[in-house]
Amino acid sequence: MQIKSTKFVISSPDIQKCPEPNLPEYAFIGRSNVGKSSLINMLTDNKKLAKISGTPGKTQLINHFLINDKWYLVDLPGYGFAKSSKKAREKWGLMIKKYLVKRKNLLCIFILIDSRLSPQKADIDFINWIGINKLPFMIIFTKTDKLKKIQLTQNINLFKNRLLENWEELPQFFISSAKTKSGKEEILNFIEKTNAIFST
């Protein structure tokens, strides 16, 4: 798939304010500072599409972007550590979960995992919640250019083994780097194929 056009549509405080669910939709979410904005900008060839910030927790709303006038890319608030009050984090959590469970046109949730780290409780807990609610998802390992190949393989295997403590079958995953653009073609090809089966 080639990205020919990208357009910011709306930042919504809750699902009721989101666009009409008449196009296929893909949500991107991960722990704060996982490299989500960089990944979105890499996928869309637009360095300014998603705001990049060194401050975790910058995204606080449901952000819709219209891609090629055919599908929505959704940038969701991060979970886990953020320099915000507990009350604010709880509010975001409820907003995110309500959106993920009730959004009818959401075809896949891309959960971003920092490949440099050992399995994090916040990631495992979130993935398990996704599983309990039977929501479609895939995993994207980010920042893979910052590791040697052997270390990357070891970290991914550690994460897989941690998931297998609760899962009988592992989800599909992608290996990505915003710097080298690895994973871009695979992720966009998956979206293109999934778009073809969407029906309103």
Q: Residues 49-58: pLDDT tens digits?
A: 877 544 455 5
Q: How many structural domains are present in the chain?
A: 1
87 occurs within a structural domain? yes
Strands, E assignment, the chain: 6-12, 25-30, 62-67, 71-75, 106-114, 137-142, 173-175
Q: What's the confidence (pLDDT) of residue 13?
A: 87
Tell me the residue range of the domain where 117 lies.
Answer: 6-195
Q: What's the confidence (pLDDT) of residue 84?
A: 58
Q: What's the confidence (pLDDT) of residue 53?
A: 47
200 occurs within a structural domain? no
Residue with tokens 């090629």: 68
Q: What's the confidence (pLDDT) of residue 86?
A: 67
1 occurs within a structural domain? no
DSSP letter, residue 127: H
Domain holding 168: CATH number? 3.40.50.300
> What number of other Cβ atoms are within 10 A of residue 119's Cβ?
15
DSSP letter, residue 76: P
As given in the structure block, the two tokens for residue 179 are 């710097």
Write out residues in the chain with pLDDT < 50, as ranges.
53-55
